[in-house]
Every structure is written in C-alpha cells, then in structure tokens.
Amino acid sequence: MKKVGLVLLMLLVAMSGMFASGAKESSDAGQMTVGVCMPTQSSERWINDAANMKKQLEALGYKVDVQFAEDDVQAQVSQVENLVAKKVDCLVVAAVDSSALVNALAQAKESGIPVIAYDRLLMDTDAVSYYATFDNKGVGTKIAEYIETTKNLKTAKAEGRSYTIEFFMGSPDDNNALFLYNGVMEVLKPYLDNGVLVTKSGRTSFNDTCILRWSQETAQQWAENYLSAFYATEKLDIACTAFDGFAYGLRSALEGAGYTLGSDWPLVTGQDAELMATKNIISGYQTMSIYKDTRLLAGKAVSMVEAVLKGAQPEINDTTQYNNNKLVVPSYLCEPIAVDKSNFKEIIVDGGYYTAAQLGM
Ligand code: BGC
C-alpha cells in the first residue's frame, strides 16, 4: 500500500512538473512583445498589413504593439525609440523614410532587439536581420507589361499607332519606388525611344516623375496641370501610376477635365488593389492594379520574427537584390499579381481578400 502511495505521489509530482513547464512555455511566448511600425493609415493597405500582422502574431502567443506614423518621419523615429525603451522583443518596421531610422535602429541593435524590414527596405543600417516584401521591380514590370499588351505596343510602330502617356511614380525616400520605376522602364523605354509612346509633359526620368510620400493630392495636382497645359487638343491615352492613391487623384483630375467613361477615358494603372481601387476597376475608372496579398506578406514577416526570436529558419528567396548600403539583406519576395476586370473575381474574391458584398456585387 505504502509503495502504491509513493508511486502515485511520484506520478503526481512528475505530472505537475509537466503542467508547470507547459504553462511556463506559453506564458513566455505571451510575454514576448513585437513592435510593429507602419507608415500611415491614410492608405488602406497599411491598415490591412497591421491587422494581418497582429492577428498572425497573436495567434502564436505574442503581444503586439502597433504604431502608425501617419507619414511623419519624426513621429516614426519617436515610435521606434519608444518601443526600444519599452524593451520590446522584436521590431517589424515599414518605414516612412527608408533612411531616417538609422540612429533609432542602432539603439535597437544595442539593446539586442532584432529588426525585420517590412515591405520597404531599411536603408543605411546594419541593424536589420531580414526583409519581407513583394518583388518591387516585378510590380513595375507587370504594370508596364499590362500597358504593352493592352495597347498592343509591339506592333504599334509598324501599324503607325502611337499613344500619349504620363508617369506618376512613387516616393523618392522609399527604396521600392525606384525598383518599380526601373521595372516600368525596362519594358516601356524602347517605346518612348521609338515614338510609340509620347510624353507631352516631357517628364520621364525618376526624378521628374516621383511623388514625395506617395501623395494623392500631388498626383491629382500634377494631372490637372498636365491635362490643361499639354492635353487640350490631343487626349491623354495612358496614366501610368504606381499607386491606387494616385489613380484616385487621376480620376478626379480626368473628371474635372471632362473625360468620360466609355469614350475617352484613358488606361489608368495602380498598385495595391485597395477596396476602392477594385470598385473603380469594376466601374472602369481604373483599368488595373497590382494585387499584393498582405496576408501572405504578414505570414513571411511573422516567420522572420520566429526566426530571430526562436532560432527557426525563415524561408528566403533573394540574397542579391536588396543591398541597403551596409549589407545585402536576406529577403523573401512575394509575387505581385496584375488584376483587372477580367480576373479580379478569380484572384481577389475567390481568394477571399474581399467579399462580393464588399465590392457591391
Ligand atoms: C508599397 C506599395 C504602396 C506604396 C504607398 C510602397 O512602399 O510597396 O504597395 O502602394 O508604398 O503606400
């Protein structure tokens, strides 16, 4: 009897040890906090990015501290500094200005806080471990290839066709913007050179077409100026824009200048496949966008967080392209997809990104 009692007692002690260690593990995960710094809530994509990161990290037991900088560079510097002071366990940062966080990130490194660059590369710093993004040059290539295919540019010269085009490119302080521009020009430059594409404003260089902080208002203002100064007689055929926000600005400018759907409305490109942009694709005010599944991107960033905190191995598919002037940052590039009227349902609705009801279908 005594022996049975002893065995039982030992069993109980062993079991309580198991439970205790199980509880410890989960409370450890629960105690880890990930700081997530996003650039702005003025564009829907970053709100989705933050929500997806939060959801996926919380599902793994992390606490999440999300900060939005509302495109204010100094505000983001302070947010990163505060998160470092709070001793978060890891930082995930989508920068407002890719080069402005060098000192704040150095503080993170000194405090032993690993940093993941989210969507936008963090420049001039050795404090960054990994980079999760989309193929940014590929975004540009896909926008340009869409224009090339839709307007049949390959045969235009021989057939004596030409088109007017204006460019609205991304922010000069966002490393993604130049990648995108280079992707666009890789496809379209030959057509600008042989006269199939004509830019009446004369603005084709990155410096002449980049729009600081991806401002919708600036894009609209530029479009209004171009339309009244250069397109009074000959119409604008193509607005090659790098962002859905720009496409909204274009819509207002085009409506203001008297363009109408179904007659002289130009081909308008965009990026992000925001809800409003997708609705505009359905109605025709925007021709296409680049769908970036932020659930996928968040998943890749989360696997990088797990890697730096738990020594796991994140999936990497690029170790050459993203040199931030200090190191070539090991990256995962998700695939961007061009969407228009013909495939948005299959890609976006069937893919569960927006419901038919959200799109008013
Ligand atoms: C992102 C784009 C986005 C743009 C403006 C870029 O860094 O890669 O998806 O449209 O910022 O927010």
**With helix as H, strand as E and coil as C, how does 125-185 read?**
CCCEEEEEEECHHHHHHHHHHHHHHHCCHHHHHHHCCCEEEEEEECCCCCHHHHHHHHHHH
Ligand 1 binding pocket includes 48 (Cβ within 6 Å):
no
Which numbered atom of ligand 1 lies nearest the CA of 94? 7
- Any ligand 1 atom below 6 A from CB of 43: yes
Q: Considering the entire predicted model, what is its pTM? A: 0.91
Ligand 1 atom 5, closest CA: 214
214 lines ligand 1 (CB under 6 A): yes
Question: How many A from CA of 277 to the centre of ligand 1?
Answer: 14
pLDDT at 21: 34
pLDDT reported for residue 24: 33
174 lines ligand 1 (CB under 6 A): yes
Distance (Å, whole) CA 233 – CA 239: 17
Residue 255: partners with Cβ closer than 8 Å, 6 or more residues away: none
Query: What confidence score (pLDDT) does residue 313 get?
Result: 85
Ligand 1 pocket test, pick from 41, 42, 45 with the greatest ligand atom count within 8 Å of Cβ, gives: 45
Kindly state which CATH superfamily the domain 31-135+293-333 is placed in.
Response regulator (3.40.50.2300)
pLDDT at residue 28 in the model: 53
Nearest CA to ligand 1 atom 10: 243
- Give pLDDT, residue 29: 53
**120 Cβ closer than 6 Å to some ligand 1 atom:** yes
CB of 119 closer than 6 angstroms to any ligand 1 atom: yes
Ligand 1 close to Cβ of residue 216 (< 6 A): no
Amino acid identity of 185? Answer: M
Q: Which two tokens stand for residue 253?
A: 């400018």
Tokens 């989705």 -> residue: 48
- What is the domain partition of the chain in residue ranges? 31-135+293-333, 136-291
Instruction: Say yes or no: CB of residue 133 within 6 Å of ligand 1.
Output: no
- Whether the CB of 251 sits within 6 Å of ligand 1: no
* pLDDT score of 323: 98
Burial of 182 (0-12, 13-18, 19+ CB in 10 A): middle
Does the fold of domain 136-291 match that of domain 31-135+293-333? Answer: yes
User: Quick one: CATH architecture of 136-291?
Assistant: 3-Layer(aba) Sandwich (3.40)
Q: Which residue's CA is the closest to the ligand 1 atom numbered 9?
A: 272
CB 323 within 8 Å of CB 308? no
How many Cβ atoms sit within 10 Å of the Cβ of residue 24? 10
CB 280 within 8 A of CB 263: no
pLDDT in tens for each of the 361 residues of the chain? 444 444 444 444 444 433 333 333 334 555 899 999 999 999 999 999 999 999 999 999 999 999 999 999 999 999 999 999 999 999 999 999 999 999 999 999 999 999 999 999 999 999 999 999 999 999 999 999 999 999 999 999 999 999 999 999 999 999 999 999 999 999 999 999 999 999 999 999 999 999 999 999 999 999 999 999 999 999 999 999 999 999 999 999 999 999 999 999 999 999 999 999 999 999 999 999 999 999 999 999 999 999 999 988 899 999 999 999 999 999 999 999 999 999 999 999 999 999 999 999 9
What pLDDT score was predicted for residue 30?
A: 56
Q: Is 271 in the pocket of ligand 1 (CB under 6 A)?
A: yes
Measure 25 CA to ligand 1 centroid, in angstroms. Answer: 37
**280-316: buried (b, 16+ CB within 10 Å) or exposed (e) per residue?**
bbeeebbbbbbbbbbbebbbbbbbbbbbbbeeeebeb
Ligand 1 neighbourhood includes 49 CB (under 6 angstroms): no
Could you tell me how far CA 172 lies from the centroid of its own chain?
Answer: 15
Kindly report, residue by residue over 256-287, the tens digit of the pLDDT.
Answer: 999 999 999 999 999 999 999 999 999 999 99
